[in-house]
Amino acid sequence: MPIAVMAVSFDQRVAQAAQEPSMRVLLSQAPVVRLRADGQQPLQVRGLGGGNQRMRAIEVRLRAGRLKIRGQMSDGSSRSLSARSAIEVQSDDPRGIWLGSRRYRGRLQFLVRRGQVQVVNHLGVETYLASVVGSEMPHRWPLPALQAQAVAARTYALRQLGKAGDFDVKASVSSQVYRGVESETPSTIEAVQSTRSLVLVHAGRMINAVFHSSSGGATEPSGEVWRNQLPYLVSVADHDQHSPAHRWNKRFDDDALRELFRETGGVKRLQVLKTSSTGRVRTARVQGPRGSLVLTGRELRQRLGLKSTMVQFELINGSTESLIASAETAHQAAPPLIGLWQDSASAPDTSSSTSGRLASLLPPPPLPPLNPSAFNQPRPHLRVGEIVLEARGQGFGHGVGMSQWGAHGLALQGADFRQILLHYYRGAEIRPYRSSDDPTVALRLRSESAWWG
């Protein structure tokens, strides 16, 4: 079907939403972008004047505030064109459009923004989710875990509709990871189709369905990480004991510490000042030859490149006793499955990213027994006066909401996707989406549809 216009109007988005909500996904912002057709069917380009242009490959760059397009036409010839503000590209080929090293379905919109070429992918939410599930979770995982991921990701995505000017979500961990066609598989498509339109709702509104890779034993209440404590984002025991990041350690030598803490000239003492209810570091003080520095747990994690803030520290000195003040961790054994657990309290809205994702798309390893030696690495041999900081941690990510490895563990125990979701999002309901689940979405879309049930 030919593409519509170069800039999608509000009325067009409403018409599309009557069939299925359409997502606008920010793919990239760069000085130059290149795209090409996947097969013999050419790309259809709108916004260059004179109707649709049919091209096999396109280079788009910004010059003097305008989009400059160099295209390989269907007949093999080359042509240079320009557009003032935007163009749109679509293909009838079901294999999608190549943008760099990835293929995308739907249509691609190219805009001039902040001196860059901004690329936004427009596509239906269910098509988008088939890739998100495969980008966020290994496709070989049990179907209930993939279904739980689909419902959480759908809820998160629909809450973002219309919140930004040109796009709803980003394709990165700033929102949800979306890698296009290559992340779609039969299992991720099944997970999305079998949960079609289902979302998580609490007190009549869609929830902030954040998730992370692995909590390290207990999930974190939202109020310990962000501004508001939401009634459905409380601490629960996790089922992630088989996660590769359930326990980990990382060491920093003297040179690395001086580079990481230039303000203090290195580290002589690291003192954890405050921890959360689950033992995650909230604030810590670093003391060095040139002074001291107080950091939040998030700042310390970013500076040291740690997997989480559920961490203990040991400072090993080559000539003196270890100087350490560490957090107590809260590791709980996983209880039996919990069924429906109601909490009618409402909470103010909050926003956050879904950072802290699975480290790779490799299939999960066989479930190993817990290895206590993960925290008992041999002490390094140090020279006199040499210092090594050892971080011993648990989990990967912010720890709030659904644990992806925990969902995997529950699925292996026989839980279905509803049990998984209601374990991590306490008091929530699972039901087909209605625009009334979020009044702001209702105002933007102005319609109900069969897709919403």
**DSSP E strands, 260-303:** 269-275, 281-288, 291-296
Q: Does residue 383 lie in a domain region?
A: no
266 Rama sector, left if φ>0, alpha if ψ -120 to 50, beta otherwise = left
Task: Give pLDDT, residue 438.
Answer: 63
Q: Does residue 426 lie in a domain region?
A: no
Q: Does residue 81 lie in a domain region?
A: yes
Give the span between the Cα atoms of 338 and 343, in whole angstroms.
Answer: 14
Q: How many domains does the chain have?
A: 1
Range of the domain at 23: 10-124
Task: Give pLDDT, residue 106.
Answer: 94
Give this prediction's pTM: 0.79
Q: What is the mean pLDDT of each run of 10 residues along the chain (453 residues)?
A: 37 51 94 90 84 87 84 80 83 92 94 89 97 97 98 96 89 94 97 97 96 96 94 97 96 95 95 96 96 96 97 78 43 37 31 40 38 51 72 96 98 97 97 72 44 46
Q: Does residue 83 lie in a domain region?
A: yes
Cβ 169 vs Cβ 157: under 8 Å: yes
**DSSP E strands, 198-321:** 198-202, 205-206, 211-212, 248-252, 269-275, 281-288, 291-296, 311-317
Q: Does residue 116 lie in a domain region?
A: yes
Task: Give pLDDT, residue 439.
Answer: 52
Q: Does residue 197 lie in a domain region?
A: no
Q: Does residue 41 lie in a domain region?
A: yes
Task: Give pLDDT, residue 239.
Answer: 96
